[in-house]
Amino acid sequence: MAAKIIVYRNFPPTPNHTWSPFVNKLETRLRLSSVPYTTQSGSLSKSPNSKIPYVSYQPSPDTPPQLLSDSTLITRRLISDSILPDLNAHLTPVEKALDLSIRSLLEDKLQFFNTREQWVDNYYPMREGILGSGGAGLTWVMQWLIGGKIYKDITRTLYGQGTGRYSAEDVRTLKEEVWESVNAFLVEARRETLARRGGQDEKNGEPFWILGGEGPTEADCTVYGMVAGRLMCSTAAPETGRLVRSYPVVVDYARRIHDRYFGDYDLWEEEI
């Protein structure tokens, strides 16, 4: 019997990606390796380290389920238990460093800009999307109470980290710089893939991968998770949604992965 995995997403288990790039990242990682799982809503209070996503992981029928948190640590655990293959095992040390750099650029830099755009610049749509009918389904009073606490915690964190001290124009410039870099990686990867496939890529619509190789690496899970999250989050991150859509190769990259691995999920809005 295969391991039993439940992914807790903090959103209703609908056939859609979520606004969270880390939820999307983990689901992508599982699907790239054809590992079955189910989804449930979950909550931060039940997560082992108060992070979304978290999973209930039962390696075998004779072992009790365990709760694991943090998308990267979950992936590492599943690799160590031979549930997931190591996507980066074949990479050279330099390629592994590049893969890690891409992940860090998005997870440890861009994500702070995303958080500011969602919870500060577009607080009310974000609160409704996460805590209201589209998310946890809380009453208005509970949204007001919990949302206010989240806002205070996030603004304090962003100020301490530094993103909260930037002007809106500074954040916009830095955010654009990151997406320009992602686009540059994908344009080159697509060029290399087309050359290797002799142009057949256009006909079969198969995915291409950010390092330009034959298969995905860990960075692809992060990049796709981030792109899908931004394309889904049109109300609470409209500026980034428009920015991502301004890069046709980035959208094409995501669309190909969606069609290949998430055919049961609704596609994000084409335009906003």
Task: Tell me the DSSP string of 110-168.
Answer: IHHHHHHIIIIITHHHHHHHHHSTTTT---HHHHHHHHHHHHHHHHHHHHHHSGGGS-H
Q: Which residue has the tokens 């809005």?
A: 269
Residue 109 lies in a domain: no
CB atoms inside a 10 Å sphere around CB 257: 24
Reply yes or no on whether the pLDDT at 132 is more than 90.
no
d(CA 256, CA 208): 8
Residue 135 lies in a domain: no
Residue 134 lies in a domain: no
Q: Identify the pLDDT of residue 200.
A: 66
Reply yes or no on whether the pLDDT at 218 is more than 70.
yes
Q: Which residue has the tokens 């057949």?
A: 200
Residue 180 lies in a domain: no
Reply yes or no on whether the pLDDT at 12 is more than 90.
no
Q: How many domains, the chain? A: 1
CATH of the domain at 47: 3.40.30.10
Taking only the tens place, the pLDDT of each residue in 66-75 is 999 999 999 9
- Grouping H, G, I as helix, E, B as strand and the rest as coil, residue 244 is helix
Planar angle of CA 24, 27, 31, nearest 5 degrees: 135
Q: Identify the pLDDT of residue 271.
A: 60
Domain extent, residue 62, equals 4-80
Q: Identify the pLDDT of residue 270.
A: 66
Give the DSSP H or E segment for 69: strand 66-69
Whole-model pTM: value is: 0.94
CB atoms inside a 10 Å sphere around CB 169: 8
Strands 66-69 and 54-58: antiparallel
Reply yes or no on whether the pLDDT at 272 is more than 60.
no
Q: Identify the pLDDT of residue 126.
A: 94
Reply yes or no on whether the pLDDT at 140 is more than 70.
yes
pLDDT-above-90 percentage for the chain = 81
Which tokens in the block code for residue 6? 């439940």
Residue 42 lies in a domain: yes
Q: Are 154 and 115 in contact (CB under 8 A)?
A: yes
Residue 136 lies in a domain: no
Residue 179 lies in a domain: no
Reply yes or no on whether the pLDDT at 202 is more than 80.
no
Mean pLDDT estimate for the chain? 93
Reply yes or no on whether the pLDDT at 45 is more than 90.
no
Closest by CA to 224, choosing from 261, 193, 190, is 261
d(CA 18, CA 130): 10
Which tokens in the block code for residue 21? 């790039």
In this structure, of 101-105, 190-194, 222-226, the range with the lowest mean pLDDT score is 190-194
d(CA 163, CA 249): 28
d(CA 28, CA 154): 27
Strand order through the sheet with 54-58: 38-40, 4-8, 54-58, 66-69
Closest by CA to 116, choosing from 179, 164, 153, is 164
Residue 71 lies in a domain: yes
